Amino acid sequence: MNFFPNFHIYWTIIYLLTYYSSVVYSSGGCFCKLEGRIDDCSCNIDTVDYFNNIKLYPILRSILVTDFFRYIKVNLNRGCPFWPDDGKCAIKDCSVKTCPEEQIPPGLKGQGFGVKSRKNGKSAQGEEACDENNDSLGAVNQTISEENYEEFQRWQKHDDSVDTFCEMDDENSSELQYVDLLLNPERYTGYKGPSAHRIWNSIYKENCFRFGGGYGPYTTSKNIDAMCLEKRAFYRSISGLHSSISIHLCGQYYTKGKDCFTKGEWGINVEEFQRRFDPKYTNGEGPHWLKNLYFIYLLELRAIAKAAPYFENEIYYTGNEENDEQVRVAIKKLLEISKSFPDHFDEKVMFRGNDKEARKLKEEFRQHFMNISKIMDCVGCDKCRLWGKIQVQGLGTAFKILFSKDMPTNYSVNNRKDFRLSRTEVVSLFNAFGRLSNSVYNLEKFRQLLGHNHKTEL
């Protein structure tokens, strides 16, 4: 039985019905009916809407429910490195259900990404399997002193850190636990107040690039052009991530029952969406924040397309060969769709010019984002922390793909040592992009529900 049915015709019909019903519902659109070119890109918003909602969203959604991508190992107990913990969120929806070891697919236990190879007798690095009975033939003494070994480890850590944009959990830590993402969906938990506000304030005021000339600590649509391209890209990425998370919370919002006999339910909260994005409540900035969602979408889409040769050579091993093969087929299809996008984000225009200044700016860019990834350990709600870590790790992985000096043009098992991604990085990237894809898709629902007699042209 085909594990991944052909959704294309079905979702095309659904999308067209949705689109035309929204046109009938209103002659124009709401503030979230954005039009025009995406800032610092050559692509239009309607191009992304069609490409995502018709071509990419259905197959990406089917991939993320598979065992390889639904399970992730994460440490939710690391202390906040920047300020004293405010205490854990006590609301029951803040908690995360972890998985007992016996429920984890056997191929994921204790293994890194791509441990096995498609070809028998070879490892993921393409090395021939050894005959253990002949270990004395032509043997080389590979022993090294403890001092030299520690030095090699320091070199490796330095080399890895140069192109690492994100603080990742130590995969060997006993604090890590398996989490089933399908059992812990991202949605509104009730986590708010000073603790939640401190997270975003710290990200924007202390870790986004600052302005000179009296602009103040926050970036707005009125002063962002005073920044260079790299700094604008950094801000748009963070703002787009923030917008995406907000859309998820508005799309999966818990509404209490009207009385003690009526059960509450999860669903779309239009009023909350308006509060977060309507120009009336955001000093005119809400539509610009929504537009930044499209920017980060293009950035992560470009990372996946650029690393397509890498992903095509992996096997997504869980121990269930039939399902693993179906995942590989679906991934190949997804990568073909990603590469077919007509107007990809162009990372080559960034960090150019004077070599010394470009290196300095890239390192500053990297350090700012590294701090943001550490801030995720300060989130008081476990479920918010889980999805915050995944989405920040996913964005950090996209930066690594786009800006690493060792990212090969044509990946093969032979140059794996030059560039590799951990399983956590891969799972985070695809789930993070899945969240962006979901946000773009759900914006159409809000457009239907908020139809007014005007369009927002930015």
* Distance, CA of 438 to CA of 252 (rounded, Å): 12
Query: Does residue 337 sit within a domain?
Result: yes
Residue 193: per-residue pLDDT: 81
Please state the separation of Cα 156 from the chain's center in Å: 26
Query: Does residue 124 sit within a domain?
Result: no
Nearest to 116 by CA among 260, 319, 310: 319
Q: What is the 3-state secondary structure (H, E, C) of the chain?
A: CCCCCCCHHHHHHHHHHHHHHHHHHCCCECCCCEECECCCCCCEHHHHHHHHHHHHHHHHHHHHCCHHHHEEEECCCCCCCCCCCCCCCCCHHHCCCECCHHHCCHHHCCCCCCCCCCCCCECCCCCECCCHHHCCCCCCCCCCCHHHHHHHHHHHHHHHHHCCCCCCCCCCCCCCEEEEHHHCCCCCCCCCCHHHHHHHHHHHHHHCCCCCCCCCCCCCCCCHHHCCHHHHHHHHHHHHHHHHHHHHHHHCEEECCCCCCCCCEEECCHHHHHHHHCHHHCCCCHHHHHHHHHHHHHHHHHHHHHCHHHHHCCCCCCCCHHHHHHHHHHHHHHHHHHHCCCCCCCHHHCCCCCHHHHHHHHHHHHHHHHHHHHHHHHCCCHHHHHHHHHHHHHHHHHHHHHHCCCCCCCCCHHHCCCCCCCHHHHHHHHHHHHHHHHHHHHHHHHHHHCCCEECEEC
Six token digits for residue 274: 């308006």
* Per-residue buried b or exposed e for 273-299, using 16+ beta carbons within 10 Å of the residue's own CB: bbebbbeeebeebbbbbbbbbbbbbbb
Q: Is residue 242 annotated as involved in ligand binding?
A: yes
pTM: 0.82
Domain of residue 229, residue span: 29-102+161-410+417-450
Query: Does residue 132 sit within a domain?
Result: no
In terms of Cβ atoms closer than 10 Å to its own Cβ (0-12, 13-18, 19+), residue 237 is buried
Query: Does residue 394 sit within a domain?
Result: yes
| Mean pLDDT score across all residues of the chain | 80
Q: Is residue 118 annotated as involved in ligand binding?
A: no
- Counting as low any pLDDT under 50, the low residues of the chain are 1, 11, 14, 16-28, 112-144, 148-149, 151-160, 213-215, 452-458
Six token digits for residue 40: 């610092």
* Distance, CA of 252 to CA of 271 (rounded, Å): 13
Residue pair 52/442 in contact (Cβ under 8 Å)? The answer is no
Q: How many domains does the chain have?
A: 1
Question: Catalytic residue at 384?
Answer: yes
Q: Is residue 210 annotated as involved in ligand binding?
A: no
Q: What are the distances in angstroms from CA 184 to CA 97, 181, 312? A: 7, 5, 29
Instruction: Identify the sign of the CA torsion 393, 394, 396, 397.
Output: positive
Q: Is residue 187 annotated as involved in ligand binding?
A: yes
Q: Is residue 11 annotated as involved in ligand binding?
A: no
Query: Does residue 212 sit within a domain?
Result: yes
Residue 82: per-residue pLDDT: 87
Residue 221: per-residue pLDDT: 82
Residue pair 337/301 in contact (Cβ under 8 Å)? The answer is no
Query: Does residue 110 sit within a domain?
Result: no
Residue 141: per-residue pLDDT: 38
Query: Does residue 129 sit within a domain?
Result: no
- Please tell me the number of Cα atoms within 13 Å of 147 on its side-chain side: 0
Q: Is residue 236 annotated as involved in ligand binding?
A: no
Query: Does residue 107 sit within a domain?
Result: no
Residue 401: per-residue pLDDT: 94
